[in-house]
Structure 1
Amino acid sequence: MARILLVPGFWLGAWAWDDVAGRLRALGDEVAAVTPRGVDPGDADRLSVTLEEQARGIVEAVPEGETRVLVLHSGAGVTGYLATDIAPERFERVIYVDTAPGWEGFAVNPELDPELREWELPDWAEFEAQEPGLLDGLDEAALARFRAGAVSEPATIAAVPLKLSDRTDRLAIPSTVICSSFTAAVAQQLRDAPEVSLFDELARIDADYIDLPTGHWPMFSRPVELAESLHEIANRPLAD
């Protein structure tokens, strides 16, 4: 069975994967989830964390000499992809959950006020105004759990452009995009469009695409279905 490393998106810690991780373990997989550096409220220096430090934290979650299937949600598509740039040999497969790998110079929120050191979890109405459907599938209990566990995101992670190396090893790692708040068809259309979008780096990767219709947080809205998709993908035979 697969050995899987789960990395949550912005404002979230390892706890966000609890329901998914439990189902994956029931299916026989070995699972670990990480709280990204900078999102641990007990870390006094968390707001000074860099993209590289967060990425190295992901790398260090994989024991030296071993490999993992890396699962990245939302904003983790940036630092998780950087982790595959730093140490591609530690990741046998990457699964992007409602996200895509960051490209050179990409920042999640480049318009964040430069005076701010941290980005608080926005009001739900702000999410809906930004993109209707992001909260699909989340009932009041899920929203309350999300907000209770959320930790502000360091501006150093949200607003600083990604810097990648010239090495190309990371591009050969088998990749899958699980599409929830956007469809597989839209992701591929934007990947191939001349306009700059979140999906540009996918043009350099041989990825496959799977639809799991729901909002942006399928680990809360459809944990069983997400876990079963992750299990199936993670246990696919690797090409020789």
Structure 2
Amino acid sequence: MTTTTSSPTIILIAGHWLGAWAWDEVLDHLDTDHSRAIAMTLPGLDGDDPERATKTLDDQAAAVLDVFAQLGVSEHEPASLVAHSGANAPVSLILDRHPELVQRVVWVDSGPVATGSVFAPDLPEGLEELPLPSFDVLAQQASLEGLSAEVLERFRARSVPEPGPVLRQPVELTNEARHKVRTTLVCCSISSAQVLELARAGHAMFAEVANVEHVDVVDLPTGHWPMWSRPRDLAKAIQSAASRTT
């Protein structure tokens, strides 16, 4: 039996090159009569910040905690965190440092990272930031399925280069309690069956999933940016996951 909570707090965090704007269509479909949902822009991804290229994963994790404080998130009223793609690194830090503040984490075509993980270990030290690559290059790294020319144009126009320190910083995790946070995997460009198989096999990208005690999976077949290709269905999946307490 699934137990639900009537008004969960939902915080949505998009991946590399993206800000809160990336969730606009999903927010339009979320039932905010029965939840409190906001999207946030991580430090380093605000195009108006002149110091954005110096931001680190620690800065990003601190910003999430600031949002928690603003929303009154506490051990007695924890939030649901929704992390897309490269937001998995700062959100993994939150789960490690303050698991008691997270009622559930929803990974959108993403998942928890293992300690010691570095997104771009070979990124040259002198490179301050990494702009959104060409879509031909990006398509070799992540599926663009379901994205129209108009969406891709908006993606290009509104993207912000990813700070080099964020991409080079190792994720240091020490608290095993992070594995107890209830978890939902929304699987888009890779099916849930494939993700779980890779986790069991110890694949570096998915090995941490095998350590999580409570995992639900949702298949939402599309590309790596479901907030644009299937926003209504993604909103439904997030609402359902965030409303569960078991």
Structure 2 counterpart of 1:177, one-letter code: L
Per the alignment, residue 68 of structure 1 pairs with: 79
Per the alignment, residue 114 of structure 1 pairs with: 125
Kept in 1: contact 2:97–2:175 (CA 8 A): no
- Looking at structure 2, the residues matched to 160 and 173 of structure 1 have their Cα atoms a distance apart, in angstroms, of 24
The correspondence of residues 169-208 of structure 1 with structure 2, limited to 5 A, is 169-194=177-202, 196-206=203-213, 207-208=215-216
Kept in 2: contact 1:39–1:46 (CA 8 A): yes
Structure 2: give runs of 5+ residues left out of the alignment.
1-6
Kept in 2: contact 1:27–1:231 (CA 8 A): no
TM-score relative to the length of structure 1: 0.93
What is the CA-CA distance between 1:26 and the residue it aligns to? 5.1
Deviation digits for residues 28-66 of structure 1 (CA, Å, limit 9, x no counterpart): 321111100111112222111121111111122112534
What is the CA-CA distance between 1:27 and the residue it aligns to? 5.9
Per the alignment, residue 125 of structure 1 pairs with: 136
Q: Secondary structure at the match of 1:177?
A: strand
Q: 218-227 or 64-73, which moves further after superposition?
A: 64-73
Kept in 2: contact 1:107–1:159 (CA 8 A): yes
Q: Secondary structure at the match of 1:130?
A: coil
Structure 1 counterpart of 2:222, one-letter code: T
1:58 to 64, 72, 75: 64
TM-score relative to the length of structure 2: 0.91
Kept in 2: contact 1:40–1:46 (CA 8 A): yes
User: Number of aligned pairs?
Assistant: 234
- What percent identity do the matched residue pairs reach? 37
Structure 2 counterpart of 1:71, one-letter code: V
Q: Secondary structure at the match of 1:61?
A: helix
Give the RMSD, CA atoms, in angstroms: 1.4
Structure 1: give runs of 5+ residues left out of the alignment.
none
What is the CA-CA distance between 1:2 and the residue it aligns to? 2.0
Kept in 2: contact 1:74–1:99 (CA 8 A): yes
1:7 to 8, 13, 19: 13
